[in-house]
Structure 1
Amino acid sequence: MRNVIQVVREALLTNFRELDQWFEKDTALLDFKPDRDQWSIREVLEHITLTNYFLLLIINKSTRRALDRKSNGYTVVVPADYHEKFSQIDVISSKSFGWVRPEHMEPTGFKNMEEIKALLKQQYAQCMYNVSLLKNGEGVLVFTNMSVNHLGKLDIYQYIYFLTKHIERHIRQMKRLEKEFEESAILI
């Protein structure tokens, strides 16, 4: 179980550190939209904060329930196929599946970069705090359904891992936008 917790911690650290680098980018790049119906990098970052917010509502509530269950004598038992679910979650970071996001996760474009950065730092801290509270495997005591890509029931570690894969997916999107921005600058 310790290696699972370590993988989740490292995924959080790596992905949030990568997000942090986008705040150093030029404003023209952050606001660049190849098409009217595409998001800018600024909007992608806002979308990540919105998604994290809703995922953390579930993660925080589940963490409290898991700690209650542990204090009530529930035993941590890891299912035999436990690691297979992480492989299924890995797909989230790619573009190999379709999913229509809820409207409440659509960016408004009105948040400034300082506000977005502060939200991401707060969300990173909250994720790490939850992982630290679940240091003895308690995260497997509560499962919550995840409809994205038909993942089904995820425990808390898997839910947090999902959050990191969602971030990875959008880091790839921002890198594609950056490449398009650079290519459009060359054409001019």
Structure 2
Amino acid sequence: MRNVIQVVREALLTNFRELDQWFEKDPAVLDFKPEADQWSIREVLEHITLTNYFLLLIINKATRRALDRKRNGHTVVVPADYEDKFAQIDVISSKSFGWVRPEHMEPEGLKSLAEIKATLKQQYAQCWYNVSLLKNGEGTLVFTNMSVNHLGKLDIYQYIYFLTKHIERHIHQMQRLEKQFEEDAVFI
């Protein structure tokens, strides 16, 4: 179980650290849209905060329930195929499948970069805090359904890992946008 918790911590650290670097980019890169109906990097960052917000509502509630269950004597039992679900979640970071996001996770483009960055820092701290509360396997005591890519029931560690893979998916998107900006700049 410690190995799983370490994997989740490393994914949090790596992906939030990578997000932080995007705030240092040139404003022209951050606001670039290849097509009118596509998001800019700034909008992608805002979308990540919106998605994190809703995922953290579930994660925070599940964390409280897991700690209550532990206090009430529930025993942590990890199934033999436990780590298989993490491999299924890894697919989230790729562009190999589509998903339709709910309207409330669409960026409005009204938040400043400073506000987006502050929100991401707070969300990172909240994720880290939840993992620290669940340091003895308590995160396996509560499962919540995840409809994205038919993942099914995820425990809290898996839900947080999903959050990091969603971030990773959008980091790849931002890298593609930056590359496209650079390629378009060559032709100007």
Shorter chain as denominator, the TM-score bin is over 0.9
1:74-85 equivalence runs, <5 A: 74-85=74-85
Per the alignment, residue 54 of structure 1 pairs with 54
**Counterpart AA for 1:180:** Q
Per the alignment, residue 185 of structure 1 pairs with 185
Deviation of 1:81 (Å): 1.1
TM-score of the pair, normalised by structure 1: 1.00
Per the alignment, residue 167 of structure 2 pairs with 167
After TM superposition, which residue ranges in structure 1, 4 or more long, deviate above 2 angstroms? none
Per the alignment, residue 13 of structure 2 pairs with 13
> Separation in 1 of the partners of 2:98 and 2:170?
14
Per the alignment, residue 120 of structure 2 pairs with 120
Q: Percent identity?
A: 87
**Counterpart AA for 2:152:** G
> Separation in 1 of the partners of 2:25 and 2:15?
17
**Counterpart AA for 2:156:** I
TM-score of the pair, normalised by structure 2: 1.00
**Structural RMSD (CA):** 0.3
**Counterpart AA for 2:6:** Q
Deviation of 1:173 (Å): 0.1
> Separation in 2 of the partners of 1:82 and 1:37?
40
Deviation of 1:109 (Å): 0.4
SS at match of 1:145: strand
SS at match of 2:182: helix
**Paired positions, count:** 188
> Separation in 2 of the partners of 1:171 and 1:184?
20
Deviation of 1:145 (Å): 0.1
Aligned pair 1:146/2:146, yes or no?
yes
Aligned pair 1:131/2:131, yes or no?
yes
Per the alignment, residue 102 of structure 1 pairs with 102
Deviation of 1:112 (Å): 0.5
Deviation of 1:80 (Å): 1.4
> Separation in 2 of the partners of 1:21 and 1:158?
25
Deviation of 1:98 (Å): 1.4
Per the alignment, residue 73 of structure 1 pairs with 73
Q: Deviations over 1:34-73 (max 9, x none)?
A: 0001000000000000000000000000000000000000
**Counterpart AA for 1:187:** F
Structure 2: tracts of 5 or more residues without a match? none
Q: Deviations over 1:141-179 (max 9, x none)?
A: 000000000000000000000000000000000000000
> Separation in 1 of the partners of 2:61 and 2:166?
20
